[in-house]
Chain A
Amino acid sequence: MVSGILDFLWLVPALPLLGVILNGAIALFSERPLLLAEAAHGGHPAPAPYRKLVAFIGPAVVGAAFVVSLLSVIALAARSPHDRLFVQVLFPWIQAGGFSAPAALQLDPLSSVMILVVTGVGFLIHVYSVGYMSHEKAFARYFVYLNLFTFTMLTLVLGSNYLVMFVGWEGVGLCSYLLIGYWYEKKSASDAGKKAFIVNRIGDFGFILGLFLLFWTFGTVDYTEVFAKIPLLSASGVLTTEIATAITLLFFLGATGKSAQIPLYVWLPDAMEGPTPVSALIHAATMVTAGVYMVARSNALYLLSPVSMGVVAVVGAATAIFSATIGITQNDIKRVLAYSTVSQLGYMFLACGVGAFTAGIFHLMTHAFFKALLFLGSGSVIHALSGEQDMRKMGSLKKHLPITFTTMFIATLAIAGIPGLSGFFSKDEILWKAFSSPHGNIVLWAIGALAAGVTAFYMFRLVFLTFFGASRMEPQVEKHVHESPGSMTVPLMFLAVFSVIGGWVGIPEVLGGHNYFEEWLAPVFAQGAAGSHGAAHPPVALELGLMAGSVLVALCGIGLAYYLYRVRTEKPKKIAETVPVLYDVVYNKYYVDEIYDVVIVRRIVDGSVWLWKTFDAAFIDGIVNGVASLVRGAGDRLRRVQTGVVGNYAFSLLLGAVLIVGYILAR
């Protein structure tokens, strides 16, 4: 009875799709005419009854999907650990010769974690959006896009082959563009949307090439088939280390685009132009984690290539520290969180790069909880301050926004890695594995630990600037400060609870717990070399020592933030004045966008202009026009044969006759 629910796995992506259809119909037939009429006539919009319908359908479909997901995962858990793989073929999508890629869904421990996170956190964010977007005119359009995103994200994580994943991959990219540019009338927003899409596309190019190479080597794109063929093809010499490296590096290029790592992270900070719930859902909890999911799913391939593992780990660690340093100077509350997301994603890739795939997914899950909470909380703050996002104009909000403050503080403790909270367990496992795994080394650990300290620093800086101290708000803003409505604060509370207890499924043995999470994901990462049940069990003291070290670093970061932003609040400015060049560079994000613009974008634009002017206009048009003028010239000359004089025509006849008879005679 319980296992029968698995036959309804298709409902998980289908329900949000239903939301798209229903909300889309409403958006098209009720909202759009209203908005067009309003634009034509001006004036206040009439309270539209469709909004209530949309406000129900939008979150409801995702909530229903969550229920189905939960039941499906329970059904999966009821099976024995070796049997936890369920594939449901929806329809035979591509069938070409020997190659077949069916539209099929796969439920296994990894995808089960993903769908629970996506639908669970997604549902909370949908509910939050009802309150946050209540003043927006294009209410239905927002929910259409949000539901569409949920659908494509679920397709991505539930696909049973790389092609279905790719469909979802492209779909979430599209939805990201649509949602970042939600307020498309604003130029910066539509520019940010375009930037996100284009930068993603560069990564997608790598992904596609990797996909081709994968197909060419394996002849199939189905997960189970590909991973099963690895031993065979490695032995027969078809699957060399070089090919595995190429495939995995190309895939990783796609991951750097989608998950905002160096060098393709530049779109994520700009993506903050979108509504805050969008930032929470897409750019914190789910879409940006697609790259991590993809690497984790392909762990068998990555383990074949030490080079790729190294690249992933190094890029992850570098991104983590790089992005964290930018975060300490930013003044826009959402920008700080954006760079924080990039940094935390770096941690996830660091984990995958050292073979600790479970740790990476674990951090993905806990990060979803506290980062979504941080974003939603910041949304609550922005909403309370009538749109103010600059932290220099905040302060003393602790007493005005108690719920928001409490929940955000819990999230900050989690992200800083304070023991007992979810972030501590996941981040610590990553750092431990970075140190102890055969693929890891002490340098990676050191960078990770340093980044942890910086993270704690800038997060507490954010909290202190926003909630503590004297009010630096504008007077009009301060008059209207109010706590957010229930539709917004209740999701915050749920997420806060999960930020606390979310890590308790993965308490390491060294602290007396049982890592249920690792056990759950073991079948997927069976070849995982960095299992804690490896040959040599590292000394407990070392593990505890490192754990204490990272907590110490975090506390140092918090302490420094306290000193600079609560005790000696004039110090930060003095420091900035002491090293103006350094501060300037960091504040301007190391001028990476500007460098890209000059080195890459300008070159491409110049190249395009050259192609246009020289190649297209002069050469191609020249050829086309040249052919035309050639024909014209030839015609001009040839028509003079038609003299109209009979004698000339007779001569032509004669000539022809002479030639023909001559030819016959000559043969």
Chain B
Amino acid sequence: MERILFVIFGAIAVGGAILVVTRKHPMSSALYLILTLFAVAALFALRQAHFLAAIQVIVYAGAVVVLFIFVIMLVNVPENKLPVERATALRLLGVVAAGLFILEGAVLARRFLLPAGSGADAGSVQAVGKALFTDYLLAFEITSVLLLAAVIGAITLAKKKI
């Protein structure tokens, strides 16, 4: 059962990703991005990482992509003024290189075996919350500072007059 669901959602994720990368209009890419993110959230849930699945939908699909859409609409480049994408040798090489990279990654994954799994609960809200607020407290707090910096930075950069 799990395997079937993995294949379905995995295919959706990969398909969505490919579509994101290949669309001409950024709006289409953004919508396919939402699809991909949802599929990934499903995969998270499949792995019993419920907390993260929720966060993925709320933060990623719900906020980041919305931000993207806002900016796309704000910038509002007309259809004819969109950058012309030509298939240069470099881009083909890029695809090839990426393929090679994936292959290598697969070989690497094959070679390095993971230790036997334990059935412990690792993705529930309690478990993650506990880890966040005990072992990774410092990281958690610094992250909030990071977000503050990002907010200030984004506002400053996007203003018409500082």
Contact = CB atoms under 8 A, between A and B. Distances in A.
B104 A658 contact: yes
Contact of A662 (B98, B104, B111): B104
B100 interface: yes
B94 interface: yes
| Number of chain B interface residues as a range | 10 to 19
Contacts of B104: 658, 661-662, 665
B1 interface: no
Residue of B93, B98, B101, B107 contacting most chain A CB atoms (<10 Å) = B101
Interface string A640-667: 0000000110010011011001100100
A661 B90 contact: no
B93 A658 contact: no
B90 A648 contact: yes
B108 A654 contact: no
Interface string B57-78: 0000000000000000000000
A665 B101 CA distance: 12
Secondary structure of the B side of the interface?
helix
B107 A651 contact: no
B150 interface: no
Contacts of A662: 100, 104
Nearest to B93: A651
A651 B94 contact: yes
A658 B108 contact: no
B95 to A, nearest CB: 10
A665 B108 contact: yes
Contact of A654 (B98, B107, B111): B98
Nearest to A661: B104
Contacts of B94: 647, 651, 654
A661 B101 CA distance: 8
Contacts of B21: none
B55 interface: no
Given A648-B90, A654-B94, A665 B100 contact: no
B145 interface: no
A658 B90 contact: no
Contacts of A654: 94, 97-98, 101
Given A648-B90, A651-B90, A661 B108 contact: yes
Contacts of A657: 101
A665 B90 contact: no
Contacts of B107: 665
Contacts of A658: 97, 100-101, 104
A662 B90 CA distance: 20
Nearest to B101: A658
Contacts of B98: 654
Residue of A655, A658, A665 contacting most chain B CB atoms (<10 Å) = A658
A413 B42 CA distance: 133
Contacts of A661: 101, 104-105, 108
A666 to B, nearest CB: 10
A647 B93 CA distance: 12
A658 B93 CA distance: 12
Contacts of B108: 661, 665
Contacts of B111: 665
Nearest to A645: B90
Nearest to A664: B108
Interface in B68-116: 90-91, 93-94, 97-98, 100-101, 104-105, 107-108, 111
A647 B107 CA distance: 27
Given A661-B108, A665-B104, A665-B108, A655 B90 contact: no
B5 to A, nearest CB: 31
A665 B105 CA distance: 10
A657 B111 CA distance: 18
7 contacts: A647-B90, A651-B94, A658-B97, A658-B101, A661-B108, A662-B100, A665-B104
Kindly list the 9 A-B residue pairs having the minimum CB-CB distance in the complex, ordered from nearest. Answer: A661-B104, A654-B97, A658-B100, A658-B101, A651-B94, A658-B97, A655-B97, A665-B107, A662-B104
Given A658-B100, A665-B104, A665-B108, 14 more contacts: A647-B94, A648-B90, A651-B90, A651-B94, A651-B97, A654-B98, A654-B101, A655-B97, A661-B101, A661-B108, A662-B100, A662-B104, A665-B107, A665-B111
Interface of A: 647-648, 651, 654-655, 657-658, 661-662, 665
Interface of B: 90-91, 93-94, 97-98, 100-101, 104-105, 107-108, 111
